[in-house]
Amino acid sequence: MRTKDLVVTAISNTFRSKLRTTLTVLAIFVGAFTLTLTNAVGAGVSQYVDAQVGALGSPDVFIITQASDATAAGDGPVEYDAASSASVSSQQGPPGTTTKALTDADLQAIGDTAGIESVDPIRSVQPDYIEYESGTPYEFSINATSAVTTADLTAGAQLDGGATEAQLVLPDAFVTPLGFASADDAVGASVSIGITDILGAKHVVNATVVGVSLESLLAAGAGANDALIAELADAQSGGIDTAVTSYGVAVAHFDTALSTDAVTALKADLATAGYTASTIEDQLGAVQTVINGIVGVLNAFAVIALIAAAFGIINTLLMSVQERTREIGLMKAMGMSGGKVYTLFSLEAIVIGFLGSAIGAGVAIGLGSALSAVLSQGLLSGLPGLNILLFEPLSVAFVIGLVMLIAFLSGTLPAQRAARQNPIESLRYE
């Protein structure tokens, strides 16, 4: 019997006992359906978290501040040092914590640290409003670290850090109020940003919208390239040479080829020098760990359901072997080898596994896609860009392949029993 004939026969034999096969397929369906949904939840949430992480910064940068001198309870105040006590409010420690500002000397020291490729201070600007074509102005803010972030774009392109033209990535919440028909319509438009200098005078800076981004939960404000930040900072200074030599935060780039241990060692070197360095992974690693843990637990329940279904496959095929004992004896008496008998029953197990997994995955995709669309317009409408159920082709294929593998392994015992049947004894079986 050729391979093609074995496959056709296996498919035909699978439906000999329709009720028993249907019940076994349904048991597999439950496990495959659940596993497909839980994988989709994990993929959807992970994609959203990755997009939010991109709004905080690139994976190859440190956010660096001076090590905090916050006092512990009962230690008393820290003595003032005119040479080094310039401070800024900290957003990384407890409320009220202050952190020493970075000086040009600090930037030089950080840049000289082995493993650091470049270091740039973050200049904070506070624009008053944004408007388009003398329309209604709206209150507006800029993310100070946007030059090193990756925006979750709905239209346009990312900021060009090397461009001399003032560029802006506009939050999508401003598209309609400013008078644009769509996000694509906003790309390429010139907008006006109002800012007040230190003397109270008003200034207007023009910028080109290069992209439109979804709102981020972790980093508020629009994105601005270095050229726009510099232009706004100059306007904010009112033309006065403030000779800024202290900064609250700096961004340091390191080699992406560094191993995790090397990055940890680099952070330790900076800590020894008196600086606090943190990566995006440091800030959100715990969040991703919790998400992976929850998805892992849900997947475990799905696997348990599949294991239970595996026993159903074993039971179905063992009964099939018993009912077809004389048929097996006849096939072997006519020259069919034990190996082909084993292959025939293994293929029957695989067919059952394929039916259950394919139907389960298909139903999960259909229902899940509809549910995700409803949730994104309702309960999850406050989380733009979140596709709570993201069905990735490779993930779905993995589920189907895993279930077929489990089905094959489950069919091994019945297939071996069928292959070892003695043809003479089998023909005498009543």
Helix 393-410 vs helix 280-323: crossing angle, to nearest 10: 40
Coil vs helix vs strand at 139: strand
Spatial separation of the C-alpha atoms in residues 261 and 267, rounded to whole Å: 10
pLDDT tops 60 at residue 260: yes
Q: What residue spans of 167-279 are helical by DSSP H?
A: 183-186, 226-236, 260-272
pLDDT at 165: 92
pLDDT tops 70 at residue 125: yes
My answer on whether 150 and 24 are in the same domain is: no
| Domain end marker among 279, 308, 334 | 279
The residue segments making up the domain with residue 157 are 59-279
Mean pLDDT, residues 188-209: 91
Other Cβ atoms less than 10 A from the Cβ of 97: the count is 15
My answer on whether 48 and 64 are in the same domain is: no
My answer on whether 257 and 383 are in the same domain is: no
How much of the chain, in percent, has pLDDT values that exceed 70?
Answer: 84
| Domain end marker among 248, 279, 310 | 279
Other Cβ atoms less than 10 A from the Cβ of 161: the count is 12
Q: Which of these ranges, 118-127, 286-295, 382-391, has the smallest mean pLDDT?
A: 286-295
My answer on whether 249 and 154 are in the same domain is: yes
Side-chain-side CA neighbours of residue 335 (13 Å)? 1
Mean pLDDT, residues 97-118: 79
Higher pLDDT pick, 262 / 287: 262
How much of the chain, in percent, has pLDDT values that exceed 90?
Answer: 19
Q: How far is CA 428 from CA 288, 327, 328, 351, 422, in A?
A: 63, 11, 11, 30, 10
Spatial separation of the C-alpha atoms in residues 36 and 362, rounded to whole Å: 9
My answer on whether 41 and 189 are in the same domain is: no
My answer on whether 139 and 261 are in the same domain is: yes
pLDDT at 90: 44
Side-chain-side CA neighbours of residue 426 (13 Å)? 21
Find which of 50-59, 229-238, 392-401, 411-420 is predicted with most confidence, using mean pLDDT.
392-401
My answer on whether 29 and 78 are in the same domain is: no
- Count how many domains the chain has: 2
Bridge partners, residue 213, by sequence: 153, 171
pLDDT at 219: 62
Coil vs helix vs strand at 246: strand
pLDDT tops 70 at residue 243: no
Q: Which of these ranges, 47-56, 142-151, 351-360, has the smallest mean pLDDT?
A: 47-56
My answer on whether 87 and 26 are in the same domain is: no
Mean pLDDT, residues 302-330: 80
pLDDT tops 80 at residue 216: no
My answer on whether 103 and 241 are in the same domain is: yes
Higher pLDDT pick, 57 / 47: 47
Mean pLDDT, residues 253-271: 84
**Contact between residue 41 and residue 389 where contact means Cβ atoms under 8 Å apart:** yes
My answer on whether 297 and 200 are in the same domain is: no
My answer on whether 18 and 103 are in the same domain is: no
**Contact between residue 67 and residue 276 where contact means Cβ atoms under 8 Å apart:** yes
| Domain end marker among 279, 298, 314 | 279
My answer on whether 328 and 199 are in the same domain is: no
Coil vs helix vs strand at 100: strand
List pLDDT tens digits, range 81-97: 555 545 444 444 444 44
What is the residue type of 250? A
pLDDT-based confidence at residue 129 (cuts at 50, 70, 90): very high
Among 245, 30, 251, 9, CA closest to 121: 251
